[in-house]
Structure 1
Amino acid sequence: MPNSPVVPTIRRRRLGSALRKLRNDAGLTLDGAAGAVGWKAPKMSKVENAAAGIRPAEVTDLLKAYGVTDPEVFTALENLARDASKKGWWQTYSGVVAPAYADYLSLESDAERVLEWSPTLVPGLLQSAAYAREMIAASAVTRTPEEVAALAEVRMARQAVLSRPDGTGPLNVWAVISEAVLHQRFAVRPATMREQLRRLLDVAELPNVTLQIMPLGATPHPGVAGGFTVVNFPGPMPDVVLVENLRGNSYVEGSEDVRVFAGAFERIVAAALPVDDSLALIKRIEEGSPK
């Protein structure tokens, strides 16, 4: 596969957004903030708009100028500056991983928690290998069989975040899946869905995974507008929302807009079955699935 560089530019956007908020909180204009650290305003604007990088030491200078004293804020933003152009494990698959998807993988690797409403398929982090191949082949309409296989490998490799080492801690996942997804059938390999249901039951035993099912008879809720994923980060880092479609990923990054999705997820959770009832439903469907 080609090995062109994948630059996770969304890290720069998150850093720029956080620095802009801190500057505004400090009551400083672009000119005032730039002057406080010996810059020109255009450079400050480029950093805040992710058009230019910034060194960790420069982040430190800005935070001091903004009157920030919280050591966690210093650590989080300095690390983000350090990792802004860091290449991830997915670089190996740069021939098939689109830049927007690479951005999401970098988000997922940095995240503390994801909240996912999935009305049409099992979330990627919870998929079995066979299910992943089938669903990627169905949706990646312009991909070759070799590219489908590579993307399925990427999806499986992503799941390592569920058991990250103690230094970082495993990613916390709260997923709400439509019951309709559990009734999916596969003509060529009928056992695929049964295996996937068993995978859901197994992964639900992890302490960092919460799984709920939205029943077919649920009352109307905000999820009727479509699926989405809210990505939460530790410390001062702004949260991000992922919205997917046939053409790839798009992101919602403004704090007010992100809050709309977070509020919608709370209402979706309230409309879904409780966790124990959800797992019982998955078990019943699994027992009746083709072997």
Structure 2
Amino acid sequence: MAELNRLRESSGLSRLEVAERIGSTDTTIWRYETGLSRPKPSDVAALTEVYGVTGQERASLIEMAKEARKRGWWHRHRQALKPGFDSYIGLEAEASVVRCYEPLVVPGLMQTQPYARAVIEATSVTHTPSEVDEKVAVRISRQRLLHGTGGGDPIHLVAVLDEAVLRRQVGGREVMREQLEHLVGLAALPNVEIRVIPFSAGAHAAVDGKFCLLGFPEPDAADLVYLEQAASGLVLEDPEEVRRYTLMFGSLTALAFGTEASAALVAQVAKEL
């Protein structure tokens, strides 16, 4: 961001002096100022404090950082994605914790490629084969977040699944068996929790549909909610809405099996296939 360079020069500070004040390196500051790296909103907040920037100017710079961080590798695929989903992928990439509830299919972060293709082909009724390929590629690429292979620490994923997710044979028996076995493997990771709500639990707070809660590593960053529909996605920032979905997620985990019992059920259904 060129504006960060201007502010630093106006302050009379060197890059090294700024880096020492915010606990970074002069190379990092240089990369921010030249646009080679996109600073996190928390980084911009720290820099503006050093430069004595306050009020609307500070708020605008932090907002610019938020918007810039939404444009990553996925941005070139935005034409193949539903409106709002490219913004979600950007936020997901910045999150430290993702909590999701899925009533019908395995969450995208946990799908095998054959399973993902079967889901996308079934739902992309107006898409060409090349657009389906592109959406599958985006979905699989997002999964680097679980293993930290995209840079940074792996995200912590908590997935609450309805039992219907395990029973619905997406893509046929072999594809489904492979998918369930993949879930068993993911459940063994220290940063992944899978909880299954059994059919016997009956109605619950989220019978209206799926949702995701995103939590971020910055202490002052509020959680967000993502809601997805057939043709669009919506990010909710209102604190009361976020609180409502947080309470809903808590009630779902209370109804669900524990992680060990859930993994055993997934393995059992896979064996049945």
Q: Same fold (TM over 0.5)?
A: yes
Match of 2:190 among 199, 203, 207: 207
C-alpha contact (below 8 Å) 1:56/1:81 kept by paired residues: no
Work out the percentage of aligned pairs sharing the same amino acid. 32
Aligned residue-pair number: 226
Deviation at 1:56, TM superposition (A): 3.8
> Deviation at 1:145?
1.3
Aligned to 1:89: 73
Q: Residue 80 of structure 1: CA displacement?
A: 6.6
Unmatched segments (≥5 aa) in structure 2? 1-42
Equivalent in the alignment of 2:29: none
Cα distance change of structure 1 residues 167 and 80 upon mapping to structure 2, 3 Å threshold: farther
| Match of residue 209 from structure 2 | 226
CA contact (8 A) 2:82 2:233 kept: no
Code of the aligned partner of 2:267: K
1:238 aligns to 2:227 (yes or no): no
Kept in 1, the 8 Å contact 2:88–2:235? The answer is no
Residue by residue, what CA displacement relative to the aligned partner does 1:53-94 show, whole Å, maximum 9, x if unpaired? xx948843898757xxxxxxx9xx977744532430112323
Q: In structure 1, how many angstroms separate the alpha carbons of the residues matched to 2:51 and 2:247?
A: 33
Q: Tell me if structure 1 keeps the 8 A contact 2:109–2:143.
A: yes
Distance in 2, Cα, partners of 1:96 & 1:266: 34
Alignment partner, residue 116 of structure 2: 132
The structural deviation recorded for 1:169 is 1.3
**Amino acid in structure 2 at the alignment position of 1:280:** A
User: In structure 2, the residue corresponding to 1:217 is in which secondary structure?
Assistant: helix
Name the amino acid aligned to 1:244.
E
2:175 maps to amino acid: T
Amino acid paired to 2:117: R
**1:236 shift after superposition:** 0.8
Residue matched to 2:20: none
Which residue of the partner structure matches residue 119 of structure 1? 103
CA distance in 2 between partners of 1:271 and 1:62 (Å): 50
Q: Normalized against structure 1, the TM-score is what?
A: 0.71
Name the structure 2 match of 1:60: 49
Long gaps (5+) in structure 1 = 1-54, 67-73
1:123 and 1:233 mapped to 2: Cα distance? 19
Within 2, Cα distance between the matches of 1:206 and 1:93? 29
Matched, 1:275 2:225: no
Mean alpha-carbon deviation: is it higher for 115-124 or for 225-234?
225-234
- In structure 2, the residue matched to 1:194 is 177
Provide Cα deviations, 1:130-173, integer angstroms capped at 9, x if missing partner. Answer: 00000011112221111111101100000011122697311110
Q: Residues 62 and 84 of structure 1: is their aligned pair in 2 closer, same or farther, counting only changes over 3 Å? A: farther
Does 2:139 align with 1:150? no
**Structure 1 residues 62 and 140, CA gap change in structure 2 (3 angstroms):** farther
| 2:157–2:191 Cα contact (<8 Å) kept | yes
Equivalent-residue separation in structure 2 for 1:163 and 1:113 (angstroms): 13
* Cα RMSD (Å): 2.8
Distance 2:229 2:66 in 1: 28
Match in the other structure for 1:185: 169
Matches of 1:184 and 1:199 in 2, distance apart?
Answer: 16
CA contact (8 A) 1:59 1:81 kept: no
Cα distance, 1:239 vs structure 2:
1.3
Range moving further from structure 2, 272-281 or 163-172: 163-172
Residue identity matched to 1:60 = E
For 2:159, give the aligned amino acid: A
Task: Give the 5 Å matches for 1:13-24.
Answer: none
Q: Which amino acid aligns with 1:250?
A: L
